[in-house]
Structure formats: structure tokens, C-alpha cells
Amino acid sequence: MNRIVMAAVTASLAMGTGLAAQAEEGHKLSFVVNAASDFWKLAEAGIKKANAELPDYDMELRYPAQGTAAAQNALMDDLVAAGTDALMISSVDPKTSTDAFNRIAAQIPLFTTDSDAPQSNRIAYLGSSNTEAGEQAGKEMVQALPDGGKCMGFVGYLGADNARERIEGFRKAVEGSKVELVDVRGDDVDFARARSNVDDVLAANPEITCMVGFYSYNSPKIYEALQAAGKLGSITVVGFDEDPVTLGAVKEGSFVSTVVQQPFEWGYQGMKLMAAYLGGDKSQIPADGLIIIPTKVVNQANVDEFQADLKAKIDSASAG
């Protein structure tokens, strides 16, 4: 596999800082997310940092009116009509959006992040390996439950590639152990439903002894439900992403750990990548179109260090 691991190419991408002088006045770069979530505030901070380094570009993060493929596709059309020169998107449903993505890709450079659309004509995917992230979560659960347990997973879009790959990675990691992922409940990024899914499992499935929050907001909803039911600490939880509630749960020991991505880098490096591409530098696009920014496990031992680094990045972007 020829994919690039972003930790190894940060220096190369930094060359994009010199592209401001080459940029045509008014080049517009857009970053379209899958739904309104605090998770994306970090990507927005990364975009602000990139924009401070490339002030001749107009960079923006846009939320669709709804967390649906139709709303995303309509937003992409609107952005192209308004003059966007390159676009990066986290696809809600890649399988049903291929034609829409190809329509956009025929007009401007199209990149993906977070949830890939490999069957489309996108130029490259920049983000996590969701399969590897799922495997990390599964290994954490196996280590936490040497005697085994029955787990329930919770996620936003069951059909999205990022969800499917995380679940597959988790199942691969627990295969052969005494840990079993019994099922995964989807909520279509409806926060009330995300919470009620956990409540329903607690009421109807007493055999469940572990839970996995596969999307950024799922872990906080798990925390809320367990706290309300008086079961914090009695259900083993591994989460995803760096929501403050999730990090607080890890710090206090209510959650084993959380697998964090780097949305700040998606925004920052994604904008730099698109700017470089528009400037004629295509050397950063690997043969297989995959630019992987590694995920990491945050646990009680490193949560303080992680939070300090996160704050420094956000403060730096705000200062810029």
C-alpha cells in the first residue's frame, strides 16, 4: 500500500505556506462536514490556522442543513455555484452519493475526509484509518475485560464508511477473545435518539457489560445514561474522539479510554493540501489516494497531556 502517513509528510505539507504568493486572488476552499457536532470545532480551528498562513485564500467550514446525503449534495452544488475552487467533504453516505460526488469532481478538485468515498472520482482521502481506529478500540476492550463481556456499540450512520470500518476493526480485534460485540445501534445523528438507544439497552439487555461509542457524541450520551442509571463504573466503556465529557470520563476512570482522531489536522492539513493542489503541486497525492493521519489511544495515563496539547492548538488558532 502506498498510502502516506501524515506524521511523515507534515514537513512536506508545510511547503504550502509558500503558496500564498502563487495563489490567485480570491481562491476559495470549502470543508463540508457530515452534521452539526462539537467534534468539528477542532477542524474549524485547524482551518483558521491554515488561513492565517495562506491569507490570500478564502477558507470556510460549512455544515449541511441536515445530516443527510441529500443536504450535503445540495450544499456542494451551492458552493460550486458560488465559486468554490476546491472542496473537502466528510460523506454521510458514500454509496448513494457517488454520482453527486462525480458531478462535483468534474467541476472542481474534490477531496474527502473522515468518511471516504473511494468509488467516486475524488482526488484523495485525508483522515484516519477507521479500520485501524476500530482495532485500537477493540484491543482496549480486550485488555480491560480479560474475562470477557458482551458489548453494545452506538453510532450515528450505520451505512457510512467510517462507521462500518470502525465496527469491522473492532470485531477483528476482539475475534478469538471472550469479548463479543453483540450489536450496534444507529441514531442518524439524532442526539435524543443516541441517548434513548443507551437507555433502551440498559433497560432491555441486562447481559450487556460493555459499551462502545463509535461517534464523537455517542460516548457522552453513554456517560449521561450510565450516570442517570447509577451504572458508571459497572459498565466498561471505550469511546471515540475527544469530547470534553469523554475526556472527563477517562480522567475520572469511568471510561477505560477513548480513541482520538485529529480533526484539527484534517482542517489544517486539508486546506494546505488543497491549496498546494490548486497551485499545481500534485506531488503530495499518493498513488492509492490515501493520506492517513494516525489515531491514538487516550487513557488515564496521558489524558492530561493530551488535553494540554489540544488547548494549545485551539488557542494558537484563535490567536492567529
**123 shares its domain with 270:** yes
Three-class DSSP labels, 273-305: HHHHHHCCCCCCCCCCCEEECCCEEECCCCHHH
Q: Provide the domain limits for residue 253.
A: 132-260
Q: Is residue 303 part of a domain?
A: no
Same-domain check for residues 157 and 233: yes
**Mean pLDDT calculated for residue range 117-124:** 95
- Residues 233-259: tens digit of each pLDDT: 999 999 999 999 999 999 999 999 999
Asked whether residue 109 falls in the same domain as residue 166, the answer is no
One domain, residues 204 and 160: yes
Mean pLDDT of all residues in 118-129: 96
Q: Which three cell numbers stand for residue 123?
A: 482526488
Query: Do 219 and 287 share a domain, yes or no?
Result: no
CATH code, domain with 201 = 3.40.50.2300
Residue 311 has pLDDT above 70, yes or no: yes
Averaged pLDDT score across all residues of the chain? 90
pTM equals 0.79
pLDDT at residue 317, rounded to an integer: 67
Residues 272 and 231 in one domain: no
279 assigned to some structural domain: yes
Same structural domain, 122 and 11 = yes
Same structural domain, 79 and 9: yes
Same domain, 139 and 173: yes
**How many domains does the chain fold into?**
2
Q: In this predicted model, which residue has the larger pLDDT, 179 or 114?
A: 179
**Residue 316: per-residue pLDDT:** 73
Q: What is the pLDDT of residue 319?
A: 65
Q: What is the dihedral of CA 123, 129, 131, 134, to 10 degrees?
A: -140
